[in-house]
Amino acid sequence: MRSAERPQMAGARIETWTGRQFSARVEDAMGIYVRAMKYPAHTGAQRAVSARKHASLDGFACRAALTDEGTLVGFGYGYTTRPGQWWHDLVRRALLREEAADWLADAFELSELHVRPDQQGIGIGRRLLTSLASGVPHSAMLLSTPDTDTRAFRLYRDTGFVDLARNYLFPGDARPFAVLGARLPLPG
């Protein structure tokens, strides 16, 4: 669909949340996470534990999409990627030494980006992503996403993310992932 033919952008407002604000709404956020990812509901409680820890990491930044009534319909968050973090250390080993030095030195790891299924495809995910990208003080944004043709993958490509690694297997997950990166500010 060409942008001129799309319906009006969803009315959700995008708010900047601190780690404390995110932690206070983490159950709502994990409810969206399990529905968006089609995971069993009980995994939300497990994920809430790590999400609360993420909220206290250096460089934590979060955006929330809310209806007029204050219902959370989407969120995205991440933090400064640092040696010693699980994801950082695995990605460092997956890249060539020069690439790793280049991309990982000053980067924001987009850890989660999810929109409630009934609100997907109307621009909320893009607004969350671009708001985070324009608000963090890093020279790059990195993420990993299942290496298949998903709406997420298309959104990342469309906003300027390039391949750093493809078909990468993270321990404990049978699905191949793509590791993607974008220089900040995002193009356009």
Ligand X SMILES: CC(C)(COP(=O)(O)OP(=O)(O)OC[C@H]1O[C@@H](n2cnc3c(N)ncnc32)[C@H](O)[C@@H]1OP(=O)(O)O)[C@@H](O)C(=O)NCCC(=O)NCCS
Interaction site with ligand X (CB under 6 A): 6-7, 9, 36-37, 113-115, 120-126, 145, 150-152, 154-155
| Residue of 33, 77, 79, 156 marked active site | 156
Q: Which CB, 85 or 145, lies closer to ligand X?
A: 145
Which residue, 131 or 145, is less far from ligand X as judged by CB? 145
Token look-up 């299942």 returns 146
Q: Which residue is nearest to ligand X (CB)?
A: 125
CB of 15 to ligand X, least distance (A): 16
Asked about 156 being catalytic, the answer comes back as yes
Q: What backbone phi and psi angles, to 5 degrees, belong to 167?
A: 55, 40
Closest CA relative to residue 74, chosen from 20, 19, 129, 24:
129
Whole-angstrom distance, CA of residue 30 vs CA of residue 43: 9
Name the residue nearer to ligand X (CB basis): 94 or 124: 124
- The DSSP-derived string for 76-118 is EEEEE--TTSHHHHHHHHHS-HHHHHHHHTTEEEEEEEEE-GG
> Which residues are marked as active site?
156
